[in-house]
């Protein structure tokens, strides 16, 4: 019977049908989705911290209002994604415990510190830019709830990318000190942004199966190449220099050749050894502990409502 259900599942995936929560699915497909979607959700939530760090220090009321809205959007993205993962039979508590225990990952990019105001613009430009490049194809991922979450997330993310670019534009067209600050931020965020797409395809244990299941629609290297190709002209328009001496246009392939990210650094950050990894996990643990009374009160309230309905 399982063989028949598997054949039906494979046929639906091959026909680009969405798989929905109540449909039968192979256990490994379910596990892969829980891993990817929960890690994606954790990234959005941990991703609030580097920018949250600058809300009180934004240079104007306008910039502060924009930054607050952006960080709030990231909380919203985390919540949609936790909900999408919950439809696969895992609870929010279990996902949070996996993060706090260091078992679930979150994107390497959020383990780097935000040192200057230019980092806010640069994160919007590069980090949201990389996130969109990865997430646009995920709007067609084979699992329905994940695909639908991505539609709204991508709309908000493209606003984030533009606000970031506009903030860097202001600095790049400003005083020499401001322009230097923008260049310094680009120098520090460029390589970590390329690492967001994951290890090279020939070192990516999950890509082949995830492509077959149409969970991933493009590989890590394909997306990284696209990101470089759209971002280089943006840096040129700003008058900033991408910190890669090997970056050169390759007419034959119709894209840029570029240098190799420091994969040792990537794996160290994945292992939890990133520059501010401890600080990030500490902030999440504190938020979870400080929120205990809210969760307790909500459960108590729900129990009271239930018993009143029964009475």
- Whole-number minimum distance, CB 11 to ligand FAQ, in Å? 23
Q: Is 139 one of the binding residues for ligand FAQ (CB under 6 A)? A: no
- Whole-number minimum distance, CB 4 to ligand FAQ, in Å? 28
Q: How far apart are the first and last CA of the chain?
A: 46
Q: Is 131 one of the binding residues for ligand FAQ (CB under 6 A)? A: yes
Spatial distance between the Cα atoms of 119 and 51, rounded to a whole number of angstroms = 8
Question: Residue 21: what are its φ and ψ, rounded to 5°?
Answer: -50, -35
Helix axes 144-172, 61-86, angle to 10 degrees: 160
- Closest residue by Cα to residue 197 from 151, 133, 284, 276: 133
Q: Is 74 one of the binding residues for ligand FAQ (CB under 6 A)? A: yes
Where in 32-51 is the site for ligand FAQ (CB under 6 A)?
35-36, 39-40, 43-44, 47
Residue nearer to ligand FAQ on the CB measure, 86 or 179: 86
Residue nearer to ligand FAQ on the CB measure, 177 or 264: 264
Distance of CA 187 to the CA centre of its chain: 21
Q: Is 204 one of the binding residues for ligand FAQ (CB under 6 A)? A: yes
State which of residues 38, 53, 96, 107 lies at the interface with ligand FAQ (CB under 6 A).
107
- Whole-number minimum distance, CB 300 to ligand FAQ, in Å? 33
Q: How far is CA 170 from each of CA 44, 135, 239, rounded to the nearest angstrom?
A: 26, 27, 12
Q: Is 119 one of the binding residues for ligand FAQ (CB under 6 A)? A: no
State which of residues 56, 101, 177, 205 lies at the interface with ligand FAQ (CB under 6 A).
205
Question: Residue 245: what are its φ and ψ, rounded to 5°?
Answer: -65, -20
């Amino acid at each position: 019977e399982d063989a028949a259900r598997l054949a039906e599942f494979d046929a639906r995936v091959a026909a680009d049908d969405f798989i929905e929560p109540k449909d039968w699915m192979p256990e490994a497909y379910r596990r892969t989705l829980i891993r990817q979607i929960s890690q994606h959700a954790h990234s959005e939530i941990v991703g609030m911290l580097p920018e949250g760090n600058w809300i009180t220090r934004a240079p104007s009321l306008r910039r502060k209002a924009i930054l607050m809205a952006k960080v709030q959007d990231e909380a919203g993205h985390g919540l949609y994604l936790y909900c999408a993962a919950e439809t696969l039979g895992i609870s929010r508590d279990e996902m949070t415990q996996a993060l706090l225990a260091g078992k679930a990952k979150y994107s390497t990019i959020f383990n780097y510190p935000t040192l200057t105001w230019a980092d806010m613009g640069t994160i919007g430009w590069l980090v949201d830019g990389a996130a969109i490049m990865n997430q646009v194809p995920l709007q067609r991922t084979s699992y329905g709830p994940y695909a639908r979450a991505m539609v709204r997330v991508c709309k908000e993310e493209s606003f984030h990318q533009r606000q970031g670019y506009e903030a860097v534009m202001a600095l790049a067209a400003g005083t020499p000190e401001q322009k230097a600050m923008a260049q310094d931020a680009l120098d520090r965020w460029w390589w970590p942004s390329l690492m967001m797409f994951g290890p090279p395809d020939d070192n990516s244990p999950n890509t082949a199966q995830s492509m077959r299941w149409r969970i991933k629609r493009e590989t890590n290297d394909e997306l990284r190449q696209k990101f470089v190709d759209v971002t280089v002209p943006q840096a040129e328009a700003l008058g900033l220099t991408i910190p890669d001496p090997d970056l050169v246009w390759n007419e034959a392939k119709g894209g840029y050749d570029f240098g190799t990210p420091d994969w040792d650094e990537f794996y160290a950050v994945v292992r939890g050894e990133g520059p501010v990894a401890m600080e990030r996990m500490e902030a999440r643990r504190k938020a979870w502990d400080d929120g205990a009374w809210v969760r307790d009160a909500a459960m108590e309230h729900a129990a009271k409502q239930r018993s009143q309905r029964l009475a």
